[in-house]
Structure 1
Amino acid sequence: MTETPYTIEINQLPRPENFNPSDPEKPELKIKRIQAVQKMIRETGKKNGIEIKESDQLESPNSTHYREGAIAEAARLKRAIPDLSIPTTLPYEIFQIMPFFPVVAKNTGVGHGKSKYLIETQEQWDKFQGWVESSGEQKQVNEEWVFQEYIPPVTDRPISYRVIVDCSGNIITSQIIYGPEDTKNVRVLLSDRLPHEKNVTESSLEDPQNEHFLNARSIASNRAFVLKMVRIPQSRYDSKDGYIEKLAHTDPKTGERFWTSSSGSRDVQSHEKMGGRIPLNPKNKQRPISTTTENILGALGLDKKTPGLPASIKLQASSIARLVGKQEKTVKALWLGIDFIPGKDGKNYFLECNWRPSLTAVADHLGKELNEKTTVEILQWLINQTIEHLVTE
């Protein structure tokens, strides 16, 4: 076995007090899950002659991992990749001096499309500044928030490319992610968050009852569901059996079931699937495509039968992963999720680099459903692929 010159760095385990106290999942279970992943990395690395070392940094309990500042990272990448298109991005202390609209205010320490707000008017900006001043979060906003030029989508839906790349620059898989149609009527609301997510500091910006409510349009391409009011009809009356209750609706996101009732019809809140994913370079070349998929691929100029990742994004994503995932001979991240937004000007803009990307794209690539049973299998496959590429560099 030939030993590789690379060393994989693993962060220290987080402490229970680092977790959100309102999260229904116990910190001990999350720590156990992180330990399991680290064990897989240690064992696979050892088999391939790779040294594993522990860093001085704690593993983030969140899905994202705040490291180098987003603005400093973008500047470093731009110097290394001159043709990389990046939306104008400013820190709070600079943006408040020279604001421009529309702009996306986002907390770089939060993932999954949360804590991102499209600010389109001076009134919204005044409310945001009022929230910063009243919440006492100016230090945190200065350190973790950025204000990024808004890139209008090429269709009537928010669209982005998600590319999973390993630290050696190999594209593992990629897909197009799209959100709800006509986002003018879809807002960022506190009611869309899970119960344990509702106590975040920026909840004031999403609460219609709060003076700082932004009423911001949703622009997250990875937002697959929106809340809608659904009418549940009254139970049908049968003279023999009385009122017959029947299943009237199932929430596609939560699985909650709503039954008819003899007391009359009623309106309930339920999720409606509005977004989705389009695999690129799919294994199943003969799969039927929906009208939505066909329209999106057409707008992007991609082949509708066998859509593939644009060559320019392949090259740039590969370069970004090598620059961010490794520092000299130390591997900081085995793989990354890199996001690009297609613009109406024909450019693909680098948006952000995720150190803890969702495994959904990898699950789709392997033809598996992402759940508790398959997560370990998918992770092990990903670790094997990444370390194999590292060893054979």
Structure 2
Amino acid sequence: MPGIQTPPTLAYGDYNGRPSQKPIVMKNETMARGQGKYLIENPDQLQRFRAWMEAHGNPNEWLAQDYLDTPGKAPTCYKVIVDCTGEIIASHISYGPPHSMHLRQNRATKGDVAKNSMKELEYADSEFCLDSRAITSNHILLHDDDQTTGGRICLNPLPQSHPYNQTERNILAAHGLDRKVPLLPKKVATTASGIGRALGMKKGQIDELVLGVDMIQKEGTDDFLLLEVNRRPSLASVRDWLGSAHSISEPDAWRWIISGSMQRVLQDR
């Protein structure tokens, strides 16, 4: 889509930069939900990553993307669930551990490595361990009851929603959002809606019923950049909207989405 900004991104095979000058994120395109993303900040990390790639990796699956700081004291990302009609179903801000915590991706076990060689990049005893600074919020890094090291802030407020804690209120303020009733920024909503329509429908037929659109706000600006579009998005924010991500199952969330989206598709015809 014209007019959409993205961080500078290269296929892994085309990347020959120096992370000591500009941090980058190595991203595995086959992974989702915060997996397969590694922040490279120095030449030693890049050397270890390249050694792992030579031993185990598939260059066709990886991208090198410039790492951009976001507002506030923790890495953040807008995550939007949109259907093929452009309807925004749910949205939230995902936030990772505060930079001051220096939390690292080094908690993988020998059992994890046995199942997935990529986990060598996170296994402290591996020669390939990157000891990368954690920049995503996911189940590997976080406890469900600990919002201080990461989590999600639901937007466009929910019928049922937990009160925002101080960490979350600070993040909302840093992004210029209301700390009591935070709404998805119009620029993000417009972009996500357009992506849903453009990729969801092809020649009048449904190609992707639901997509996850990830965007970031560049620190110190009102610029919003597209990080990625997920065909297998997490439905946590949808489950929150329906009541609670802990009490609503993924299949129930899918049934609710499919029912509503198909009604909108039929209405548009």
TM-score (normalised: structure 2): 0.89
Match of 1:384 in 2: 259
Q: What amino acid does structure 2 have at the position aligned with 1:353? A: V
How far did residue 205 of structure 1 move?
A: 1.4
Contact 1:338 1:354 (8 Å CA) reproduced: yes
Aligned to 1:291: 166
1:105 alignment counterpart: 26
Q: Tell me, what secondary structure is at the counterpart of 1:208?
A: coil
Aligned mates of 1:342, 1:159 — CA distance in 2: 8
Q: Give aligned pairs, total.
A: 265
Query: How has the CA–CA distance of structure 1 residues 225 and 206 changed in structure 2, closer, same or farther, with 3 Å as cutoff?
Result: closer
Check whether the contact 2:200–2:207 (CA below 8 A) recurs between aligned residues: yes
Counterpart of 1:60 in structure 2 is none
- State the match for 1:92 in structure 2: 12
Whole-Å separation in 2 of the counterparts to 1:309 and 1:94: 35
Shift of 1:313: 0.6
Q: CA RMSD of the aligned region, Å?
A: 2.5
Aligned to 1:277, what secondary structure does the other structure show?
strand
Q: CA deviation at 1:105?
A: 0.3
Tell me which residue corresponds to 1:310: 185
Deviation at 1:323, TM superposition (A): 1.6
User: What is the DSSP-based 3-state SS (H/G/I as helix, E as strand, rest coil) of the residue aligned with 1:157?
Assistant: coil
Inter-partner Cα distance in structure 1 for 2:149 and 2:140: 5
> Structure 2 residue aligned with 1:364, among 220, 228, 240?
240
CA deviation map 1:233-270 (0-9, x unaligned): xxxxxxxxxxxxxxxxxxx55x9xxxxxxxxxxxxxxx
Name the counterpart of 1:280. 155
Distance 1:333 1:117 in 2: 28
Measured after TM superposition, the shift of residue 325 of structure 1 is: 1.7
| 1:211 aligned residue (117, 124, 127) | 127
> Can you list the C-alpha shifts for 1:204-233, whole angstroms capped at 9, x where unaligned?
21122122211111111x336647xxxxxx
Structure whose alpha-carbon radius of gyration is higher: 1
Match of 2:225 in 1: 349
Structure 1 match to 2:64: 147
- Structure 2 unpaired stretches of 5+: none
SS in structure 2 at match of 1:336: strand
The 8 Å contact of residues 165 and 318 in structure 1, kept in 2 or not, is answered as yes
Question: How much has 1:375 moved relative to structure 2?
Answer: 3.2
- What is the alpha-carbon distance in structure 2 between the residues aligned to residue 286 and residue 327 of structure 1? 36
Q: 1:341 Cα shift? A: 1.2
Distance 1:192 1:171 in 2: 38
Query: Given that residues 190 and 203 in structure 1 are in contact (C-alpha distance below 8 angstroms), is that contact kept between their aligned partners in structure 2?
Result: no
Counterpart secondary structure, 1:392: helix
CA contact (8 A) 2:88 2:189 kept: yes
Identical counterparts, % of pairs: 33
Amino acid at match of 2:93: I
Q: Deviations over 1:153-173 (max 9, x none)?
A: 211211111100001111111
Shift of 1:285: 8.8
**Which residue in 2 is equivalent to 1:174?**
91
Distance 1:287 1:226, change over 3 A: closer
